[in-house]
Amino acid sequence: MNKKTTTKNDTSELNRRDFLKMGASALSLLAVLEVGGASLLFMQPRSLEGEFGGTVNAGPVDSFPTSSVTHFPDGRFFLIHTETGGFLAVYQRCTHLGCTVNWEPDQNRFFCPCHASAFDIHGDVQNPPAPRALDTFAITVEEGQVIVNTGAIQTRDEFAPEQLAYAG
């Protein structure tokens, strides 16, 4: 005859085992929820407003004197207000191998420290090896504010007056 006798010790052993199993299951569930939650946060679309890849409000039209160049490092562009009153936003990335150019006000030019390319105030090549003018971003003027769309890079061979945006 097959007979199983349960003693008090067996019962407490069983309870301890059940308790450990339940604890392990709860920890596993918690880990799954954490990974799932983190994944959902990661997959949420990020607002790029105000930084490179999104639209940047550069500020009021009146805050940029003519013949001025203003750097927006977060947007990765320079805003140029030309002597004719037109605006141009040029990408800070050199068209040679992609280094960041600097504006040199005393020389009235953009200069690339990597291989010495130089560009004039419109982003046109003054000195190679850069093969073409600095890229640009579209500008709109809305309610007196200069808005630059850094979400789409516009390539060009050279500057043309049609690339300038005017207020009003």
Please say which residue, 127 or 149, places its beta carbon nearer to ligand FES.
127
Question: Measured between alpha carbons, how far is 165 from 168 in angstroms, rounded to an integer?
Answer: 9
Among 97, 104, 131, 140, binds ligand FES (CB under 6 A): 97
Strand partners, 31: none
Question: Measured between alpha carbons, how far is 167 from 134 in angstroms, rounded to an integer?
Answer: 23
Best CA proximity match to 76, nearest among 48, 111, 51, 95: 51
Q: Should residue 114 be labelled a site residue for ligand FES when binding is judged by CB under 6 A? A: yes
User: Min. distance of Cβ 117 from ligand FES in angstroms?
Assistant: 4
Phi-psi group of 116: left, alpha or beta (phi > 0 → left; psi -120 to 50 → alpha; rest → beta):
left
Question: Measured between alpha carbons, how far is 121 from 52 in angstroms, rounded to an integer?
Answer: 21
Among 96, 135, 139, 159, binds ligand FES (CB under 6 A): 96
Using CB under 6 A as the binding criterion, the count of chain residues that bind ligand FES stands at 11
The token pair at 115 is 């291989």
Give the range of 10-18, 66-74, 97-105, 158-166 binding ligand FES by CB under 6 A.
97-105
Give the range of 42-50, 68-76, 91-99, 157-165 binding ligand FES by CB under 6 A.
91-99
Q: Should residue 94 be labelled a site residue for ligand FES when binding is judged by CB under 6 A? A: yes
